[in-house]
A and B are shown apart, each in its own frame.
Chain A
Amino acid sequence: METINQKQQGKALSRLEGALKVTGAAQYAGEYSAPDLLYGHVVNSTIPKGKIQKIYTEEILKLPGIIEIFTHENRPSLAWFNFQYSDMDAPPGSPFRPLHDAEIKYYGQPVALVVAESFEEARFAASVLKIDYEKEAFTTNFTNQLDDARAPKRGFATLLKPLPPKPKGDFDKAFDESPVQVSADDYYHGTEHHNPMEMHATTTMFEGEGKLTIYDKTQGTVNSQLYVANVFGLSFKDVRVIAPYVGGAFGSGLQPQYQLFMSVMAALELKRSVRVTLTRAQMYTFGHRPPTLQQIKVAAEMDGKITALHHKATAETSRFEDYTEVVVNWGNILYPVENTKLDYELVPVDVYSPLDMRAPGGSTGLHPLECALDELAYELKMDPLDLRLKNYAEQDDSENRPFSSKELKECYLQGAEKFGWYNRSPQPRSMRRGNRLVGYGMATGIWESMTLPAKAEATLTKEGKFRVRSAVTDIGTGTLTVMTQIAADALGVGLDEVEFEYGDSKMPFAPIQGGSYTVSTVGSAVVAACQALRKRLLKIAQKANGSLFETASESKVSLTNGHLSLSEKPDVAVSFQELLTVSGKRMIKASKTNIPNPLTLKKYTRAAHSAAFVEVEVDEELGVINVTRALTAVAAGTIVNPKTARSQIVGGMVWGISKALREETITDHRLGRYMNPNLAEYHIPVHADIHDLDVIFVEEKDDIVNPLGSKGLGEIGIVALPPAIANAVFHATGKRIHQLPIHFDMLL
Chain B
Amino acid sequence: METTQLSRNTNTSKIDCIRTVTFTINGQSTQLQLPPWVSLLDALRHHLHLTGTKKGCDHGQCGACTVMCDGKRILSCLTLAVSKDQSSITTIEGIADNGELHPLQKAFIEYDAFQCGYCTPGQICSAVGMMQEGKAQNRAEVQELMSGNLCRCGANSQIIDAIMEVYIPETHE
Contacts and interface: CB of A to CB of B under 8 A. Distances in A.
A733 interface: no
Interface centre among A19, A475, A477, A652 (most CB of B within 10 A): A19
- Chain A interface residue bracket vs B: 35 or more
Interface of B: 1, 3-4, 6-12, 14-15, 35, 37-38, 42, 45-46, 49-59, 61-62, 64, 91-93, 95-96, 101, 105, 108-110, 112, 114-121, 124, 140, 142-144, 146-160
Nearest to B106: A22
B101 A197 contact: no
Given A24-B93, A63-B3, A476-B153, A678 B61 contact: yes
Contacts of B55: 199, 277
Interface string A717-741: 0000000000000000000000000
A23 B101 CA distance: 8
A477 B153 CA distance: 9
Interface in A94-139: 117-121, 124, 128
Given A24-B92, A28-B118, A196-B152, A62 B56 contact: no
Contact of B155 (A28, A62, A647, A689): A647
A654 B61 contact: no
A651 B61 contact: no
A684 B101 contact: no
Question: Does more than half of chain B's interface fall in helix, strand or loop, or is it mixed?
Answer: loop
A118 B9 CA distance: 12
B143 A23 contact: no
Contact of A687 (B61, B92, B118, B146): B146
A124 B36 CA distance: 14
Contacts of B12: 64-65, 117-118, 121
A245 B117 contact: yes
Contacts of A475: 116
A248 interface: yes
Interface in A634-651: 643-644, 646-648, 650-651
A380 interface: no
Interface stretch (A10-18, A234-242, A305-313, A403-411): A10-18
Nearest to B147: A686
Interface centre among A23, A658, A687, A688 (most CB of B within 10 A): A687
Interface centre among A24, A31, A644 (most CB of B within 10 A): A24
Interface in A686-737: 686-690, 692-693
Contacts of B160: 687, 690
Contacts of B11: 117
B61 A478 contact: no
Interface centre among B120, B153, B157 (most CB of A within 10 A): B153
Nearest to A679: B61
Closest 3 CB pairs of A and B: A24-B52, A654-B154, A476-B116
Interface centre among A66, A198, A648 (most CB of B within 10 A): A198
Given A22-B117, A475-B116, A688-B144, 13 more contacts: A14-B109, A33-B49, A59-B1, A63-B6, A66-B8, A198-B54, A198-B56, A198-B118, A280-B56, A280-B57, A647-B115, A650-B155, A689-B156
A375 B142 CA distance: 39
A22 B61 CA distance: 21
A24 B38 CA distance: 21
A437 interface: no
B105 A650 contact: no
Given A33-B49, A647-B155, A679 B112 contact: no
Interface string A343-377: 00000000000000000000000000000000000
A24 B158 contact: no
B144 to A, nearest CB: 5
Nearest to A17: B117
Contacts of A183: none
Contacts of B109: 14-15, 18-19, 22
A199 B58 CA distance: 10
A651 B154 CA distance: 4
A418 interface: no
A31 B61 contact: no
